């Protein structure tokens, strides 16, 4: 076996796990009123079916009502009604040979108070938490005792539901580590001051949990390896804490992560995006393992089998969390075991999953539209039992590639036209930006899969209506994407050469020139990326947006990475301003461009004299081909939205196709500007029924 350490079983207390790969606790945002329902169970079942050894569900599942979970739709361990759903989850996971645990916590100040029960949040010393704007009272002794018992009752519910263990969270600066850290604990009673006092609350929690579940039930503890705050806990302090906690005999393993999470900047470390190196905090887990005698788990940006095997073989850790890797491909473990690694849809660290969660939305994968939609969307495409069709797909961006892949997996003859010399569409531009290169991994998988499946790929071939009709298609899918929307306002002067698009810059068609103003009208990744691209080549850059902040729509773990780079390179950030017009002015220094900005709130105009204006204003659909084909199609190019949204086959597919005419659909940005995930989802939910 190529990976002997990865597939070696391990024993945690009485719990035997079939391999060393774990799906660690994360906030899925799938629970229904705090209960794991069908969607929740199917999501974890797919990982069990895909070979995971242990899944720890319910990231940040609360044990108390004053630690509200509704904000991230987590499993609520504060009530008995949750137990039936947990029991069904346990039974389902065990049927596939996987083990299932759940993470329990009290968030303390790390949440929001305004809504649901409107609780008064508690923390050791009432210090505000910046990320969630958590204003909290100073916890009283009676509340400490009540919450300790809440942990015990949560543990009882977990055990009685048939789960295999419980993990207590003292990471991400929840209540237990709020007591540990001098950054948040300024108390002068028996719960503050000395390390022994600061550990008291956590030990009381673990003692109550262990007394409730008994000696044979698996209990783990998740903790941070370094808070990365000068006034917080550094690695040496946390090694001392880990050693002390392990020597209590109350826990069976430690799960170690890197970085605190109470500021926007440190939060970006916790789920390392593609801008950070692989496994950036494995050394912290190794440091803690060196001082404890119980197994150590680690999960942060471990994305492939070689990484995982190396960490296990070197003795750095005993278990590897590959959580986002299994969000991208829940069958990853099975593919590794079966020597099909080139078929793994590898996580690229785009962090679409966690960024959605920090917007209060359900966790989705940027490149796998079936994840968490297992009730309606297949991870494995089955062959069609109907007639073999001729499917023509135009455009090989993510929408077109997924359409071609799925149609081919269904058993149809597929011709894919792409006018460029390579597949990928706009993702190829996104991958040109600094620290965004791994976006190309999304396309790499589609490239390999469409080739492996035998899709007839015609690159460097711009299809027109005649070429498509010559194929005598049964189905035509237009995934022609969009074109840069730089002509929304005529006064931007794009047609006069007064401004250029971000596409022009990232593609290399136009070189950055002198002092550059980047106007970002949509505040997604593209605007900040092109500003970073230009600044990294030594140019002075100002990025202007009408939104409240630059990169406002990129997500909580992504905008801090952009900000690190933009500030470091001296990029000027100007929010709350519109670009009204661009004109050319003759100056003593030569021809210059003048960009006229208008403040959103005062209507006051300002002028910027620059050498170049770059526009990032999203896209408008590339729809000329659609209008040429629409009237010739059986369905006049219409997608039945009721059928689409209900995951049912399109009605036109039941008609005679081919000699009787063809069905026409368009997907992705060819309809309107969405994102990569939406493009792939458009293709999957349409083509799975071809």
What sign has the CA pseudo-torsion 229, 235, 238, 240?
Answer: negative
Partners of residue 614 on adjacent β-strands = 500, 518
Q: What's the predicted TM-score (pTM) here?
A: 0.95
**Number of neighbours of residue 322 by Cβ within 10 angstroms:** 28
What are the tens digits of pLDDT across the range 308-341?
A: 999 999 999 999 999 999 999 999 999 999 999 9
Q: In the beta sheet, which residues pair with residue 414?
A: 391
Residue 584 tokens, joined? 């050319």
The continuous run of DSSP H or E covering 666 comes out as: strand 663-666
Is-contact 352 364, C-beta < 8 A?
yes
What is the pairing mode between strands 605-610 and 590-599? Answer: antiparallel
* pLDDT value of residue 114: 80
Q: HEC string of 77-110? A: CCCHHHHHHHHHHHHHHHHCCCEEEEEEECCCCC
- Cβ atoms of 44 and 52 within 8 Å: the answer is no
Q: What is the pLDDT of residue 113?
A: 82
Q: How far is CA 348 from the centre of its chain?
A: 10
Question: For residue range 204-255, what is the model confidence (pLDDT) as tens digits?
Answer: 999 999 999 999 999 999 999 999 999 999 999 999 999 999 999 999 999 9
Distance, CA of 146 to chain centre = 35
Question: What tokens were used for 321?
Answer: 């969390």
Q: Is the pLDDT of residue 162 over 80?
A: yes
Q: Between the CA of residue 391 and those of 410, 657, 658, what are the distances in Å?
A: 11, 11, 10
Report yes or no: 295 and 251 within 8 Å, Cβ to Cβ: no
CA dihedral of residues 395, 400, 405, 410 (deg, nearest 10)? -110
73 has pLDDT over 90: no
For strand 482-484 and strand 619-621, is the pairing parallel, antiparallel, or unpaired? antiparallel
pLDDT grade for 70, boundaries at 50, 70 and 90: low
Adjacent-strand bridge partners of 57: 102
In order, the DSSP letters of 600-627 are: TTT--EEEEEESEEEEE--EEE--HHHH
**What is the number of other CB atoms lying within 10 angstroms of the CB of residue 282?**
24
Q: At residue 450, what are phi and psi to the nearest 5 degrees?
A: -65, -30
Mean pLDDT of 266-295: 95
Ranking 130-134, 264-268, 569-573 by mean pLDDT, the lowest is: 130-134
pLDDT at position 548 is 96
The whole-angstrom separation of Cα 164 and Cα 15 is 7
Give the whole-angstrom CA distance, residue 670 versus residue 626.
Answer: 9
Strand order in the sheet with 500-501: 500-501, 612-616, 516-520, 541-544, 572-574
Strand partners, 368: none
């Amino acid at each position: 076996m190529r990976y002997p350490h990865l597939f070696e079983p391990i024993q945690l207390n009485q719990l035997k796990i079939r391999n060393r790969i774990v799906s660690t606790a994360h906030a899925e945002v799938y629970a229904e009123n705090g209960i794991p329902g069908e969607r929740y169970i199917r999501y974890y079942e797919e990982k069990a079916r895909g070979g995971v050894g242990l899944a720890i569900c319910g990231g940040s599942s609360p044990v108390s009502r004053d630690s509200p979970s509704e904000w991230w739709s987590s499993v609520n361990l504060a009530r008995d009604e949750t137990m039936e759903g947990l029991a069904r989850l346990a039974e389902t996971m065990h049927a596939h040979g996987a083990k299932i645990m759940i993470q329990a916590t009290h968030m303390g100040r790390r949440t929001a108070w305004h809504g649901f029960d409107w609780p008064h949040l508690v923390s050791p010393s009432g210090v505000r938490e910046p990320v969630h704007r958590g204003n909290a009272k100073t916890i009283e002794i009676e509340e400490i005792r009540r919450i300790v018992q809440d942990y015990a009752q949560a543990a009882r519910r977990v055990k009685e539901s048939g789960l295999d263990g419980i993990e207590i969270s003292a990471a991400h600066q929840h209540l237990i580590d709020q007591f540990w850290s001098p950054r948040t604990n300024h108390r002068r009673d028996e719960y503050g001051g000395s390390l022994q006092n600061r550990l008291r609350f956590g030990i009381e929690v673990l003692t109550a949990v262990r007394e409730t579940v008994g000696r044979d039930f698996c209990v783990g503890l998740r903790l941070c390896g370094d808070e990365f705050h000068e006034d917080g806990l550094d690695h040496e302090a946390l090694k001392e804490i880990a050693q002390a906690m392990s020597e209590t005999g109350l826990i069976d393993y430690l799960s170690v992560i890197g970085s605190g999470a109470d500021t926007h900047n440190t939060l970006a470390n916790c789920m390392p995006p593609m801008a950070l190196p692989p496994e950036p905090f494995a050394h912290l887990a190794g440091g803690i393992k060196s001082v404890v005698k119980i197994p150590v788990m680690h999960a942060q940006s471990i994305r492939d089998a070689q990484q995982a095997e190396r960490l296990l073989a070197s003795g750095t850790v005993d278990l590897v969390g590959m959580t986002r890797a299994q969000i991208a491909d829940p069958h990853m473990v099975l593919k590794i075991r079966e020597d099909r690694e080139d078929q793994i849809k590898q996580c690229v660290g785009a962090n679409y999953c966690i960024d959605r969660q920090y917007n209060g939305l359900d966790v989705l994968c940027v490149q796998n539209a079936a994840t968490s939609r297992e009730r309606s969307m297949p991870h494995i495409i089955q062959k069609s039992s109907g007639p073999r069709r001729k499917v023509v797909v135009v455009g090989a961006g993510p929408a077109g590639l997924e359409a071609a892949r799925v149609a081919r997996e269904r058993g149809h003859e597929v011709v894919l036209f792409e006018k460029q010399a390579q597949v990928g569409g706009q993702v190829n531009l996104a991958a040109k930006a600094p620290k965004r290169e791994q976006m190309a991994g999304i396309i790499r998988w589609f490239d390999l899969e469409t080739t492996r499946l035998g899709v007839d790929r015609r690159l460097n071939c711009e299809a027109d209506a005649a070429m498509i009709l010559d194929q005598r298609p049964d189905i035509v899918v237009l995934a022609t994407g969009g074109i840069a929307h730089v002509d929304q306002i005529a006064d931007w002067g794009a047609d006069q050469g007064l401004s250029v698009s971000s596409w022009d810059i990232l593609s290399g068609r136009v070189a950055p020139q002198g002092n550059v103003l980047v106007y970002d009208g949509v505040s997604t990744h593209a605007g900040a990326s092109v500003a970073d691209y230009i600044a990294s080549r030594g140019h002075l850059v100002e990025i202007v947006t009408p939104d409240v902040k630059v990169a406002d729509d990129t997500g909580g773990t992504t905008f801090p990475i952009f900000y690190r780079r933009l500030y470091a390179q001296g990029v000027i950030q100007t929010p709350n301003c519109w670009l009204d017009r661009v004109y050319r002015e003759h100056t003593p220094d030569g021809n210059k461009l003048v960009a006229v900005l208008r403040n959103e709130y005062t209507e006051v105009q300002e002028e910027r004299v620059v050498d170049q204006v770059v526009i990032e204003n999203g896209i408008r659909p590339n729809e000329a081909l659609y209008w040429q084909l629409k009237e010739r199609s059986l369905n006049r190019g219409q997608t039945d939205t009721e059928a689409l949204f209900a995951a049912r086959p399109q009605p036109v597919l039941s008609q005679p196709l081919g000699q009787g005419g063809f069905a026409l659909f368009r997907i992705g940005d060819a309809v309107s500007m969405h994102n990569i995930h939406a493009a792939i989802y458009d293709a999957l939910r349409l083509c799975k029924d071809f």
